[in-house]
Amino acid sequence: MKAHYDLIAIGAGSAGLGVAIAMKRLGFDVLLVDRYDHRIGGDCLNDGCVPSKALIHVSRLIHNAKRTAPFGWKVEGKTDLAAVMSYIRERQDVIRAHENADYLRNTEGLDVELGTARFVGKQDIEITREDGSSARTSAKNIVLCTGSKPITLDVEGIDKVTVYTNENIFSLNTLPNRLLVVGAGPIGIEMSQAFQRLGSQVTVVGSDDRILTKELPEVSELLQKRLVGEGVTIKLNRKLKAFADANTAKVELESGLTELIPFDVVLVAVGRTFAFDALDLPTAGIDLNEKGQLKLNDYLQTTNEHVFAAGDVAAGAPAGTRYFSHAAELHVSTLISNFITPGKVLDKKLDYDSFSWVTFTDPEVATFGLLEQELKERASTYERIEYDFAHDDRAIIEEYTYARLILFVTGGGLNPFGKKILGGTVIAPNAGELAQELILAVGQKLTAGDFFNKIYPYPTASRVNKSVWVDHIADGLPGVARKVVKLLY
């Protein structure tokens, strides 16, 4: 370890790996610090994106196998959860082969230190290793990439229950007969469907009046209907108040009445928080905001001009919170642009206007660009257009005619083909893939005419991205325009 670096990244999750590897490849001296080798890859590899999507993949295989009964197949059996978890670990290990300290040192040329980092000055840190030894170093700039952790419950009787979160749910080896999921956000909803399909009887308790509150109400309603159709029990407008015993939860309704919910295993997914104590932030002059988040400016800079943040830990940025691995990618690209742009200092602000995310339920929910609420807050002029898949040939063939596409678009003036997409949502199987073209359209400001000019192979699912414009423009074409077209003909 050198006495001084161009950049130190603390935390080796998506953000830390991204900024450290990119800066090293650009020719800078970089140090990457994480507490443990097995935690490199962060929440995404170890407790989040990778294991959850692997679990969803297996649950989908099982669910689809059961759907073959009308065609003469008889599928029986009980899920071997130990085998499922073994598969998940195998998939993680494939990725871990290039996300570990030795690989990063030998292949990427990074300096990697394993231990707990704390500030001992504005640009100086001390690293305490597992063996008790310690060393100090400094850097021109330091990027905090220490991630987030699940919020824990503090209710009566919690000591009677083994509570699971995304950090330990993948250690289960026996499928619970009754799974109680507390929280109706993306993590809770994804896991509830997956475990229901694996064979658990799942009950979801949410404190709001709908699931996935960041999505459009009609999207939440449609997904909830699909989940209930698969057997998931969803109880909304309720708060977990206590555990009566090791297998009974006491929840309170808005009316004040209470009900008891039996369970074998409880999964808590009610939000994310942060742990900064080990870093000793005050020593470096780094302040927190009233929510306990890092106080950041539009450039992801803390109150210490030499210290920045990326990934989940950047939740305190003025642009808002985005707990996604690809948000870390956006943060990293913003930071690097500002680090290396000649003659400019902190010139690129964090901007989520073209951001997107996917909830990997079945159907998937893909949301991109500006939300309708954001458009209203900005007093933006926009049109809302919708397309249901009832008459889409691919949807008819594969039985997802319930799907919907909702777009928020600019006005096209006299030219309807000049309209541009501001944002929207797709709820459909593989919506995350269907939406990629629409996400590109938001970022590159493509027009309705660009979609009209594309010929889609038939019957690809993404033809809906053109169909929505065909229907919208045809239905809204003024009578005078029709007369002009006929006259030209």
Q: pLDDT tens-digit profile of 134-145?
A: 999 999 999 999
Q: pLDDT tens-digit profile of 430-464?
A: 999 999 999 999 999 999 999 999 999 999 999 99
Dist CA 130 CA 39 (whole Å): 14
Please report whether residue 80 resides in a domain.
no
Q: Give the up-direction half-sphere exposure of residue 26: CA atoms within 13 A in the CB hemisphere.
A: 15
Please report whether residue 90 resides in a domain.
no
Q: Are residues 117 and 12 in the same domain?
A: yes
Dist CA 336 CA 102 (whole Å): 25
Please report whether residue 81 resides in a domain.
no
Q: Are residues 34 and 139 in the same domain?
A: yes
Q: Are residues 205 and 266 in the same domain?
A: yes
pLDDT above 80 for 413: no
pLDDT attached to residue 482: 75
Q: What is the rounded average pLDDT of the residues 384-394?
A: 96
pLDDT above 90 for 477: no
pLDDT attached to residue 479: 74
pLDDT attached to residue 475: 77
pLDDT attached to residue 21: 98
pLDDT attached to residue 341: 86
Q: Are residues 363 and 435 in the same domain?
A: yes
Q: Are residues 32 and 105 in the same domain?
A: yes
pLDDT attached to residue 474: 81
pLDDT above 70 for 345: no
Q: Are residues 280 and 334 in the same domain?
A: yes
- The CATH number assigned to the domain holding 443 equals 3.30.390.30
pTM of the predicted structure, to 2 decimals: 0.94
Q: Are residues 186 and 254 in the same domain?
A: yes
Q: What is the rounded average pLDDT of the residues 348-354?
A: 94
What one-letter code names the amino acid at 335? L
Please report whether residue 261 resides in a domain.
yes
Q: Are residues 262 and 242 in the same domain?
A: yes
Domain edge (last residue) among 252, 270, 288:
270
Q: Are residues 377 and 399 in the same domain?
A: yes
Structural domain boundaries, residue 327: 4-41+99-148+274-340
Q: Are residues 139 and 173 in the same domain?
A: no
- The CATH number assigned to the domain holding 203 equals 3.50.50.60
Q: Are residues 366 and 452 in the same domain?
A: yes
Count the domains in the chain.
Answer: 3
Q: How far is it between the farthest Cα atoms of the chain?
A: 86
Q: Are residues 141 and 26 in the same domain?
A: yes
Q: pLDDT tens-digit profile of 226-275?
A: 999 999 999 999 999 999 999 999 999 999 999 999 999 999 999 999 99
